[in-house]
Structure 1
Amino acid sequence: MTAVPTMPQRPAGTARTAGSSVRAWAVTALLVVFMMVNFADKSVLGLAADEIRADLRLSATQFGLANSAFFLLFSVAAVFVGLAADRLSTKTLLLVMAVLWSVAQVPAAIGGGLAVLVVSRVLLGAAEGPAFPVAQQATLAWFPDERRNLPGALVTLGVTLGVIVSAPGLSWVIQNHGWRAALWVLAAVGLVWAVAWAALGADGRHAAGTDGVDRPVEARADVPYRRIFATRTWIGATLAYFTSYWSVALMLVWLPSYLRNALGYSAHEAGTVVVAPWAIGALALLAQAGITGRLMRRGVGSRRARGWVGGWLLAVGAACCLALPFVDGPTAKTVLVALGFGLGGSYATVAATTVAELAPPSRSGGALGAMNAVVTMAGLAAPAVVGALVDAQGTDGYQNSLLLSGLFLAVGAAASFLLVDPRRDIARLDA
């Protein structure tokens, strides 16, 4: 026999790590699309606000309440499914959610009035409530802590990309085929993603650890959820994220109407301009991930690398919103709104990676789910509050709601600067 030349061999662990890395990024890409579909679902009523109000003869308050209904079971579902994610396959949970999203679109797409629309949105909200925390958990489970900022940011980026990609197309469908046709489009897209995830999705293979090796590592000792929720880091990250989500809710529900009714944009123009804050948010997410990752690789603690960086995003967003009364003209106001909402709405990755760092691996899903439940209460309140302001004050109600958002963002910035310090609270939890 002819001898086979001996070739240098890579350590087996290296090969497994390389393969796991490819799979990790493939799963991350699927979950980016998952969040894109999620926020396309959320944004469609805002894009069709004037058409739906005219078709169903709704006041601004009624329309706001219909959008608030989306969040009625959103928070409850986030808690229960977040807790389940600590024990069940995240692949299965995400697949079930995606199928339910598509089914929930059907009643309102078929027909009916306000009652059908509300029921459909309640069901959709219940199915989508756990999406962000479970998607973050499923993604972060593939990466050690020091490598989590970029994948966490990319999954959050799916939120902004969902609106950026879908808004022009959905606006065209709404204007040319009606708002119910847009719901059918979203139902079909959700089913396509579910098929792709069933074939290609997978659960993370090393849910915790800092060594980057594709094997389980020793987990930190479990602690009761109540102790996690009592830490200043969890409270600060949750409060800051709440104020950020308030801005996100306003962008989804009322920003297209503000552009059309207060700033004078046409329906087509509003469908394009509404993308601006989401695009700024996407850039802010990537910049935050890069800055945070670089700081942490240089040994900077997550108090500054996450809490302070996130605090500055909220602080600048607050300043832009609060500056609105001091400028004139639709262009200047559009720029300030885009910057204020784009930066102010970009705290999600900071919150998720901070809580994932704080909580032991077996408590991560519950800690993230509980945070998401509290945070999304902003989505329950914001649309209704703004609807009432618009009915009471006309177009002035839009600007006053933006000023209120600016005040909330300022509070969130203070919470992020002053309360978020995972290292301090991890030491206390482990003591």
Structure 2
Amino acid sequence: MNSAPSNPVVSVAEPVDRRAWLVLALLVASTFLNYFDRQILSVVKPMIKGEFGLTDSHYSLLVSVFMAAYVVMYPIGGRLVDTYGSRRCMLVFVSVWSLATVFTGFAGGLAHLVICRVVLGLAEPGNYPAALRASALWFSPARRGFATSMFSAGSAIGAIVAPPLIAWIAVKHGWRAAFLIPGAAGAIWLVAWWFIYRDPAVVAPAVGAGAAVAPVARPAWGEIMRSRVLWGLVLARLISDPVWYFLLFWFPGYVQERMGLSIGQAGAVGWIPFLVADVGGIGAAAFSDRLVRRGMAPTRARITVLFGVACLAPLAMALGFLTAHLALTIAIFSVLAFVCTTWLFTMAALIADAAPRAAIGTVHGISGAFGATGGLIFNACIGPVVDRTGYVPVFIVAGGLHLLAS
């Protein structure tokens, strides 16, 4: 991964306004809902396959159309955020993806599922540039790694809570209820966001906010696309993000279909890798903040952490040979999930450090789109490969991508 130019070193952590922590809590909640809603399909996959007569290739199609829409909307969402701000954009994004989740509960077949997944894919990616922009405005560089890791941790929290809760709802009330109930929860978040969130310059000059300064002109597309910083981030995410998407969309079904667990048993253990990922990713991002406070340039601190955890990823290559060892399988999945979240959390902080403040959403959107493109390509191969040869080739590739991205 190419090193981005270093910003001035920040060695002292500034105090943070209390409102910033409330904003951060809302960002964690939105990211939680974002990942929870997209995870529902992977948990109830065996039920839906059975009811509609679908194969793994059909499921791969559902993931692929979601990812294709995600790729298209990620850079557009980022530009919209830089143009209209986090407040207005998040109201639209969360409303649309919540409705898409609810309508999935009324699906009558593959075509209906495809439409709902496309709409979900169009709405969900905008959450990330909007959240990153908000955290960059409210938190200084010496706190930014922790702040971005916390709101990003909402994704892993969603992945932690999703398997047991969705499994319980599906067993008790059917798979359709597993979409209807979580989708409706988005309305509660929307009310809170409407009343609470404002940019710091709108509220007042916030103590410790990262950007309570005069507005900055937004760079043109051409200027952004010529940036070496952007293309270093793009290549890193193109190569590394597919592993996270693989974990999200295939892990719950894998432990049910390949290791013989029931949906309830899968729910009982499926949260473990994501809990490890959450705690570990936050810790790694906080460690990069500590390096910054001790005098290391922010970009160098982030890249040091990225390379260090990437060295753990090759453990995943053993997964295809451990179908009789549940505990060891969960442990290795946990390590791989930790690597993924550390990269996601720390890359977000790296973008906030290195990108122009007026283009944070756009840069994050473009890099996220390329990451989702990698996920789309990888996923499109997984279904046919699994149908023909099993998971061994998939795990071998997944275990090497983070080191390659480094």
Aligned pair partner of 1:279 in 265, 275, 284: 275
Q: In the TM superposition, what is the alpha-carbon distance from 1:215 to its structure 2 partner? A: 7.2
Q: 1:201 is matched with which residue?
A: 197
* Structure 2: distance between partners of 1:93 and 1:221: 19
Amino acid across the alignment from 1:320: L
Q: Which runs of 5+ in 2 are unaligned?
A: 1-13
Letter in 2 for 1:350: T
Q: CA deviation at 1:220?
A: 7.4
Question: Which of residues 391, 402, 405 is equivalent to 1:409?
Answer: 402
1:306 paired residue among 281, 299, 302: 302
Q: 2:180 corresponds to which residue? A: 184
Please say if residues 36 and 160 of structure 1, whose CA atoms lie closer than 8 Å, have aligned partners that are also in contact: yes
1:97 aligns with 2:100: no
Higher mean C-alpha deviation, range 168-177 or range 36-45: 168-177
SS of the aligned residue for 1:111 comes to: coil
Q: How does 1:285-364 map to 2 (within 5 A)?
A: 285-316=281-312, 318-324=313-319, 329-364=325-360
- Which residue matches 2:9? none
CA contact (8 A) 1:101 1:124 kept: yes
Equivalent-residue separation in structure 1 for 2:51 and 2:209 (angstroms) = 57
Is residue 17–residue 208 contact of structure 2 (8 Å, CA) maintained in 1?
A: no
- Aligned partners of 1:360 and 1:344: how far apart in 2? 25
Question: Structure 1 pair 284/241, CA: closer, same or farther in 2 (3 Å)?
Answer: farther
Aligned in 2, Cα 1:221/1:280: closer, same or farther, shift over 3 Å?
same
Q: Could you say which residue in structure 2 is the equivalent of 1:429?
A: none
Whole-angstrom distance in 2 between the partners of 1:52 and 1:87? 40
Superposed CA offset, 1:66-104 (max 9, x none): 121112221222212211211213111101111111221
Q: Is the contact between residue 237 and residue 370 of structure 2 (CA under 8 Å) also seen in structure 1? A: no
TM-score normalised by length of structure 1: 0.84
Is the CA contact 2:102–2:184 (under 8 Å) kept in the aligned structure 1? no
Provide the secondary structure at the position in 1 that maps to 2:138.
coil
Corresponding residue SS for 1:264: coil
Tell me the residue number matched to 1:167. Answer: 163
Higher relative contact order (CA 8 A, sep 6+): 2
Measure, in 1, the Cα distance between the counterparts of 2:228 and 2:307.
15
Shift of 1:238: 2.8
SS in 1 for 2:68: coil
What amino acid maps onto 2:36 in structure 1? A
In 1: Cα distance, 2:111 partner to 2:276 partner: 36
Asked if 1:122 corresponds to 2:118, the answer is yes
- 1:233: Cα distance to partner? 3.5
Residue pair 2:200, 2:211 contacting (<8 A) in 1 also? no
Matched-pair contact (CA < 8 Å) for 1:228–1:359: no
The question of whether the paired residues in 2 share the 8 Å contact of 1:247 and 1:345 is answered with no
Give the one of 39, 52, 71 matched to 1:75.
71
Q: Residue 224 of structure 1: CA displacement?
A: 4.5
Flag the 1:110–1:331 CA change in 2: closer, same or farther, 3 A: same
Q: Secondary structure at the match of 1:71?
A: helix
Return the alpha-carbon distance in structure 1 between the equivalents of residues 215 and 292 of structure 2.
21
Over the matched positions of the two proteins, sequence identity in percent amounts to 29
Q: Which residue of 1 aligns with 2:251?
A: 255
Change (3 A) 1:116 1:305: same
Instruction: Name which of structure 1's ranges 331-340 and 128-137 shifts more when overlaid on structure 2.
Output: 331-340
**Distance (whole Å) between structure 2 residues aligned to residue 326 and residue 52 of structure 1:** 28
Counterpart residue type for residue 198 of structure 2: A
Deviates more, 1:114-123 or 1:129-138: 129-138
The change in CA–CA distance for 1:368 and 1:39 in structure 2 (over 3 A counts) is same
Counting matched residue pairs gives 391
Aligned counterpart in structure 2 of residue 132 of structure 1, from 108, 128, 131: 128
Secondary structure of residue in 2 paired with 1:148: helix
Provide the rounded CA distance (Å) in 1 between the counterparts of 2:377 and 2:251. Answer: 16
Cα distance in 1 for residues equivalent to 2:378 and 2:182: 24
